[in-house]
Every structure is written in C-alpha cells, then in structure tokens.
C-alpha cells in the first residue's frame, strides 16, 4: 500500500522516515498514519483526522503533489496534526471499502474526518487554491475543531 505513498513522501521537501510501526510514515515533521493505525489511535482518544488521498490520475496528481509538499511547511498545521489531531495518508486505488463508500478518492481527496465513522466534516478544494493557502486553511479548520474532541 505504501509503494506510491513512499514515492510521494520522497517528493516532499523533507526526509522520508518510518516509525516503529509499519503503517506510519513521517514527512517534514508530519506523522502520516495508515487506515488501521488511525483506527487504533481513535480507540485511544477521539480526534479529528486529516485524510489525504493520493491519486495516480494525472489531472489530480499534479495538484495533490504540490499540496503534499506544502503541508509540512506550515508550522501550525504540523503542530495540530502531531498533537490533538491525526493525519491519514491513503491511495485512491486501494481505499478501505467504508472510506470509498463515503466519498474518499471520488468526492474528496483532502478532508477533515469526524472521529466517529470517519465521515467527512470539511472537504477542501485542492484544485483552485494555492498550496500554501490551502495548508493554512486546513490548519485553521483543525485548530477550531480539535477542542470539541479534547
């Protein structure tokens, strides 16, 4: 599952590392978790989750790649994703059934998901926004949502 994701991580402007758990990858200070690792994290404590769905489709991948590079540059976003919220990195062609049924990879590629059921709360338009502005918007949304699950 993490083959293309590793490639995407390498395209980001920082190191590509792995935590002790195989479903976790670090990029630019953001700990990206797999679907199973997010579920385990949510069992410990409920929290909003940023879902990032990578996609091979050339009409999407060019935008998603640039946004993925911009996310770790935003300090506020790094802090919120490594603190009160979680980050999940998925591939569009190997999504868990329940996430695909809720629109992952088709209705959204970047979204904040509710901890209960991983349903989308906020979906971000990754095509029309400047990547740095989108990273700032995501950080603001997560900061406002996080206290509701503290």
pLDDT in tens, 37-52: 999 999 998 999 999 9
- What is the overall mean pLDDT for the chain? 86
Residue 15: is its pLDDT beyond 90?
no
Q: What are the residues facing 112 on neighbouring strands?
A: 50, 122
Cβ-based burial of 59 (10 A; exposed 0-12, middle 13-18, buried ≥19): exposed
Q: In the chain, what's the furthest Cα-to-Cα distance?
A: 39
pTM equals 0.85
* pLDDT band (50, 70, 90) for residue 114: very high
Q: What domains appear along the chain, each with residue ranges and CATH number?
A: 3-149 (3.40.30.10)
């Amino acid at each position: 599952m993490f083959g293309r994701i590793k490639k995407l991580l390498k395209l980001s402007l920082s190191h590509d590392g792995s935590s002790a758990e195989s479903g976790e990858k670090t990029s630019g200070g953001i700990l990206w978790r797999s679907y199973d690792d997010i579920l385990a994290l949510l069992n410990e404590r409920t929290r909003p989750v940023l879902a990032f769905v990578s996609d091979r489709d050339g009409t999407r991948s060019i935008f998603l790649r640039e946004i993925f590079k911009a996310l770790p540059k935003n300090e506020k976003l790094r802090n919120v994703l490594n603190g009160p919220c979680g980050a999940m990195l998925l591939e569009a062609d190997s999504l868990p059934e329940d996430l695909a049924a809720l629109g992952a990879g088709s209705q959204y590629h970047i979204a904040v998901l509710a901890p209960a059921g991983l349903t989308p709360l906020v979906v971000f338009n990754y095509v029309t926004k400047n990547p740095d502005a989108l990273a700032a918007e995501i950080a603001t949304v997560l900061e406002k949502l996080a206290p509701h699950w503290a």
